[in-house]
Structure 1
Amino acid sequence: MSQATDSEAVREDGVIESVSGPVVTATDLGAKMNDVVYVGDEGLMGEVIEIEGNLSTIQVYEETSAVAPGEPVENTGEPLSVDLGPGMLDTIYDGVQRPLDVLQEKMNSAFLDRGVDAPGIDLERTWEFEPAVEVGDEVEPGDVVGIVEETVTIDHKVMVPPGSEGGEVTAIEAGNFTVEDTVAELDSGEEIQMRQEWPVRSPRPSADKQTPTTPLISGQRILDGLFPLAKGGTAAIPGPFGSGKTVTQQSLAKFSDADIVVYIGCGERGNEMTEVIDDFPDLPDPQTGNALMARTCLIANTSNMPVAARESCVYTGITIAEFYRDMGYDVALMADSTSRWAEAMREISSRLEEMPGEEGYPAYLAARLSQFYERAGYFENINGTEGSISVIGAVSPPGGDFSEPVTQNTLRIVKTFWALDADLAERRHFPAINWTESYSLYQDQLDPWYRENVAEDYPEVRQWAVDTLDEEGELQEIVQLVGKDALPPDQQLTLEVARYLREAWLQQNAFIEVDQYCPPEKTYGILTAIKHFNDEAFEALDAGVPVEEIQNIDAAPQLNRIATTEDDEAEEFTEELEANITEQLRELY
């Protein structure tokens, strides 16, 4: 949102009374709740968050040092909104949708002055508009009136705004237009532009919210194989420092089969966000072969940026995601991390002197988290299309304590829980997701898809893997007391099979190109090969073959090689390996 200058829209009757960090109080402002205002002589953007009598409390999205009582406050009369239109993809924004590359050019520096502003989308760039309706057609809110090629990967669909009355198209033509030019006219006199504005704290309307039945394929075996996430689902990735939250989310952003990716760096360390900003423009998209940024929108709000803007950045991201959902796209939104967002709420709440809840977080923490995650889902849009928003939020519990308020409140909301484990990370087991603590509540509704598209027995094979890993966990407690050799042969063999599940299936090497992404068919193939070894090995054991001889066959270690075999060669390699396992084990009895 750009700073307002229209004398009718701006009221310069507010005066700063006090300043406390990012919280400023002003008198005589005449504002409504959530109005955007411009504070002080430098015009710092802020938002009204509390009104008591003639006193308005404002959270300012920039550093407030040197702002003094007596300076003016300008009221726009509008809530915090984002510009929606072509040009949002392949762009990096800050928490209030100011494009960082534009601000850098404006300042001719990587360090931005306070008060600098720019519109969220380029108002001067022209786009080639191709009509999707004709003169005389009736259109309603949400209907697509034209197509613009936003990037080489994504077609931007120009829609009738949700609040429109609709009507008959009286004028529309192809051509090159800016986002503020009229591209279609209706008989009601309404003019349709490519650009829309939408308040970030209000969900965009939809016709219906449906039960998701299609998985979001991530290419990570432990996620797709054991704890799948539905398109339109919600997931949390909690974990202590260094356990791989950011890397897991970046892998999801790179390899998930969503049409659009919105990545929110919410209060993360600057070096991590710099790595994302540097790497993403150069990464090829495994889905299309084009640049990954052609279907990605980045929102960067690092830990050294003003804390108030951190509170708004997740709303900015989810609103952009909803706009592409309305076009019928599947959107994956990564929020890294919601703990930093909650800390921003805690700081603002304490400066407002609100009654603190658990560990100092505001009493409305759970409500705010729910409002955010509830905007995910698989929707029937108001224009009849279907689209989804899958939200994956990282959580950074202090000291890895999952009992702290942000993690616990998140777990009450999301249906997929990917628990990262520092012990696994120290053992160089990546992704470091703990398979005994993690879960997915989407399995039952996704199983029909897996049966139809991967294998009829996929759910049963997956359950066998879960049972084997659970049994290994119980046996490991005994092993620590009496040693592995004290176990009976069948339990020793179970530990050996579980080791292959961990090393050949659950582990994935991001430094090996062929193993960065694993399609569902290959994920299933590796698992069935390990189960084949399990079944043949227990038959040999029942026939009297010593467990040591079973463990020492030459073919078994080849299970670790399936993951690093080229995808188009993996099926043949697996079939040959299963035949070798059968042959070598049956030679023993």
Structure 2
Amino acid sequence: MSMHKGIIHRVSGPLVVAENVRGVSIYEVIEVGEERLIGEAIGVEGDKAIIQVYEDTTGLKVGDPVYPTGQPLSAELGPGLIKSIFDGIQRPLPVIEALSGIFVRKGVRTTPLPRDKKWHFIPLVKPGDKVVEGDFIGYVNETEVVKHYIMVPPGINGVIEWVASEGDYSIVEPIAKISGKEVSMLQKWPVRRPRPYKEKLEPREPFITGIRVIDFLFPLAKGGKAAVPGGFGTGKTVLLHTVTKWSEADITIYIGCGERGNEMADALNSFIKLIDPKTGKTMMERSIFIANTSNMPVAAREASIFLGITLGEYYRDMGYNILLVADSTSRWAEAMREISGRLEELPGEEGFPAYLASRLAQFYERSGYVKTIGSAERSGSLTIMGAVSPPGADFSEPVTQSTLRLIRALYALDVNLAYRRHYPSINWLTSFSLYIDNVTEWWSKISREYPYLRERFMKILQRETELEELVRLVGADALPVEDRLTLEVARIIREDFLQQDAFSLVDVFSHPVKTVKMATIIDKFYEKALEAIKLGVSFEKIRGMKIRERIARMKHIPFGDNTKEFDSILIEMEEEFKNLREES
């Protein structure tokens, strides 16, 4: 550890060059100025260090002191993370508000996790037990819905010499001694270093979001990585908020990276009020927020991303399924571009640094479905969804293209769909998922027809796009009746199946069983209509069928154990088609 202090040689916005700091290492935390602003060494040359400062550098001047700490930027891990709201360097914003008001004053310091709060610890081991890294020592009930397991820290193995009895302890009090080493509930972990695991597994279960276009057409797997690119106003934030609120994740981590403050405020307010249907408690009981809004120092955007992924890995190691949402990685890339420019590095495409893709990979590659460390067999997953904000909805720009090489599911938001009030505005022609083969077996347990239904829906939607060119030239009435039926069924799929209401408590989340039943009904309608046309029934009569209204409204049927209403739609459809055939 470098104990001597250096001095500032140069200041350029969030970038500081210090001298007389020989011995510092890359990514070492360095405190800058008399107010000891938090910074991180991103370059070293001789006795000089290049520091990106995660706080406002206004007022710094040449000759001010810097203080190397010898430690990397680390996250505090332990009970108290859930329900917290942190900034990019894990300062708890509610505590800072009490200390300095509604604006974050530079240099303000507080511990990320409270040292005075007592947690009721229940041991799971006894003296004499052999333990390895990742084993559970005990647990505390962090919230009413999250059981927080206290794990043996990575790198520690041995025999339990002593363990605390059941009772109330702070996170810094020892709760066990393992081969001479005392262990507390508090751990620290460098945010840029991935946490260890036994094995990364190929995902086999879908990550259910409740959004039909994702779950049914372009499924995301547990432990998967997906990107949501879209232009301004296409609904990226609403989509990510919806996924965060309603998906089947055990714990959600929402990173507001360079986004507008009102969006974070809206998410926070809704999470505090919204009741989780699975637990009956508020969504905050299983959520962590990292708020690094657009008016906060740009360099801290990178810290917020790596802080969030470290917290996600920590809970993954307990065996939980974690969802991490980053909104938006483009703002992080813009911060990299600014720092790179101030470093006078050779710019890459559109001014972004040459290491843009590798830095994005360091984030996305920490997702996964893994066997966790520990003597017991358990698995956990960390799923990442990152928003991308390409200027002018141009998907050929560097951030989108670099992200495309890393992710396995893309949900491309379409400006035209958004302007038509089609939510979610995911374009089914440009989106894709490479997890379809992984999750088909799971979906087939709900319905053996899933692969057939998905393929048929995609063919109908693609055929609609081809026919639209002809419709513009000759009009719909000039098309063969089978093609007119295809256009009508494609409209049913778009408006009555893919489109959802984000403000409807019934339609905002679609259970997989309900989704398959809806798809089956639409497919049966198409089959029966084709048969009727071959028997001479006119297309106008098919389009005017009463059952069409029930199909259009089936998305608003509350899903539960009783699925008779879906069955009654099929029965009524069969009767109406039978009457049409008899009339013809």
The alignment's TM-score, normalised by the length of structure 2, stands at 0.97
- Corresponding residue for residue 72 of structure 2: 79
- Corresponding residue for residue 3 of structure 1: none
Alignment pair present for 1:260 and 2:251: yes
- Corresponding residue for residue 162 of structure 2: 170
Alignment of 1:309-458 (within 5 A): 309-383=300-374, 384-452=377-445, 454-458=446-450
Say if 2:125 and 2:163, in contact at 8 Å, map to a contact too.
no
- Corresponding residue for residue 126 of structure 1: 118
Per-residue deviation, 1:10: 7.1
The range that moved more, 62-71 or 563-572, is: 563-572
Say if 2:126 and 2:160, in contact at 8 Å, map to a contact too.
no
Measured against aligned partners, the alpha-carbon deviations of 1:505-541 in whole angstroms (never above 9, x if no partner) come to 0000122211111100001111111111101111100
Say if 2:390 and 2:399, in contact at 8 Å, map to a contact too.
yes
Say if 1:255 and 1:287, in contact at 8 Å, map to a contact too.
no
- Corresponding residue for residue 18 of structure 1: 10
The one-letter code of the counterpart of 1:482 is V
Say if 1:139 and 1:169, in contact at 8 Å, map to a contact too.
no
Task: Tell me the distance in 1 between the aligned counterparts of 2:50 and 2:444.
Answer: 56
Per-residue deviation, 1:53: 0.8
Measured against aligned partners, the alpha-carbon deviations of 1:35-94 in whole angstroms (never above 9, x if no partner) come to 111111111110011111111110000111110011110111100001000000000000
Alignment pair present for 1:36 and 2:7: no
Q: Secondary structure at the match of 2:55?
A: coil
Say if 1:232 and 1:390, in contact at 8 Å, map to a contact too.
yes
Q: Secondary structure at the match of 2:486?
A: helix
> Which of 532, 541, 547 matches 1:555?
547
Per-residue deviation, 1:588: 1.9
The range that moved more, 253-262 or 281-290, is: 281-290
Say if 1:525 and 1:571, in contact at 8 Å, map to a contact too.
no
> Which of 507, 513, 525 matches 1:521?
513
Per-residue deviation, 1:586: 2.0
Task: Tell me the distance in 2 between the aligned counterparts of 1:290 and 1:220.
Answer: 22
Task: Tell me the distance in 1 between the aligned counterparts of 2:198 and 2:487.
Answer: 51
Task: Tell me the distance in 2 between the aligned counterparts of 1:73 and 1:283.
Answer: 45
The one-letter code of the counterpart of 1:441 is L
Say if 2:161 and 2:180, in contact at 8 Å, map to a contact too.
no
Say if 1:12 and 1:73, in contact at 8 Å, map to a contact too.
no
- Corresponding residue for residue 456 of structure 2: 464
Say if 2:123 and 2:163, in contact at 8 Å, map to a contact too.
no
Task: Tell me the distance in 2 between the aligned counterparts of 1:492 and 1:13.
Answer: 77
State the superposition RMSD in angstroms. Answer: 1.1
Say if 1:135 and 1:172, in contact at 8 Å, map to a contact too.
no
The one-letter code of the counterpart of 1:480 is R
Q: Secondary structure at the match of 1:11?
A: coil
Q: Secondary structure at the match of 1:562?
A: helix
Per-residue deviation, 1:185: 1.0
Q: Secondary structure at the match of 1:314?
A: helix
- Corresponding residue for residue 479 of structure 1: 471
Alignment pair present for 1:498 and 2:490: yes
Alignment pair present for 1:583 and 2:575: yes
The one-letter code of the counterpart of 1:500 is I
Say if 1:173 and 1:184, in contact at 8 Å, map to a contact too.
no
Alignment pair present for 1:47 and 2:40: yes
Per-residue deviation, 1:239: 0.2
Alignment of 1:199-218 (within 5 A): 199-218=190-209
Per-residue deviation, 1:286: 2.4
The range that moved more, 574-583 or 14-23, is: 574-583
Measured against aligned partners, the alpha-carbon deviations of 1:522-565 in whole angstroms (never above 9, x if no partner) come to 01111111111101111100001111111111112210111101
The alignment's TM-score, normalised by the length of structure 1, stands at 0.97
> Which of 62, 69, 81 matches 1:69?
62
Q: Secondary structure at the match of 2:128?
A: coil
Task: Tell me the distance in 1 between the aligned counterparts of 2:4 and 2:56.
Answer: 21
Q: Secondary structure at the match of 1:179?
A: coil
Alignment pair present for 1:290 and 2:316: no
Say if 2:128 and 2:159, in contact at 8 Å, map to a contact too.
no
Structure 1 unpaired stretches of 5+:
1-8
Q: Secondary structure at the match of 1:587?
A: helix
> Which of 69, 73, 81 matches 1:88?
81
Per-residue deviation, 1:12: 4.3
- Corresponding residue for residue 6 of structure 1: none
Task: Tell me the distance in 2 between the aligned counterparts of 1:240 and 1:485.
Answer: 35
Per-residue deviation, 1:11: 2.8
Say if 2:326 and 2:386, in contact at 8 Å, map to a contact too.
yes
Task: Tell me the distance in 1 between the aligned counterparts of 2:222 and 2:562.
Answer: 27
Among all aligned residue pairs of Structure 1 and Structure 2, give the percentage whose two residues are the same amino acid. 48
Per-residue deviation, 1:568: 2.7
Task: Tell me the distance in 1 between the aligned counterparts of 2:568 and 2:92.
Answer: 54
Per-residue deviation, 1:13: 1.8
Task: Tell me the distance in 2 between the aligned counterparts of 1:278 and 1:585.
Answer: 49
The one-letter code of the counterpart of 2:425 is A
Task: Tell me the distance in 2 between the aligned counterparts of 1:553 and 1:112.
Answer: 62
Alignment pair present for 1:148 and 2:140: yes
Per-residue deviation, 1:309: 0.4
Task: Tell me the distance in 2 between the aligned counterparts of 1:12 and 1:66.
Answer: 23
Q: Secondary structure at the match of 1:347?
A: helix
Structure 2 unpaired stretches of 5+:
none
- Corresponding residue for residue 272 of structure 2: 281
Per-residue deviation, 1:570: 7.0
Task: Tell me the distance in 2 between the aligned counterparts of 1:181 and 1:387.
Answer: 28
Q: Secondary structure at the match of 1:262?
A: strand
> Which of 238, 246, 269 matches 1:247?
238
Task: Tell me the distance in 1 between the aligned counterparts of 2:161 and 2:429.
Answer: 58
The range that moved more, 119-128 or 277-286, is: 277-286
Task: Tell me the distance in 2 between the aligned counterparts of 1:569 and 1:55.
Answer: 67
The one-letter code of the counterpart of 1:342 is A
- The alpha-carbon distance between structure 1 residues 240 and 570, as it changes in their structure 2 partners (threshold 3 A), is farther
Task: Tell me the distance in 1 between the aligned counterparts of 2:367 and 2:503.
Answer: 32
Measured against aligned partners, the alpha-carbon deviations of 1:166-222 in whole angstroms (never above 9, x if no partner) come to 333334322111110000112x21011100000000000010000000011001111
- Corresponding residue for residue 197 of structure 1: 188
The one-letter code of the counterpart of 1:194 is M
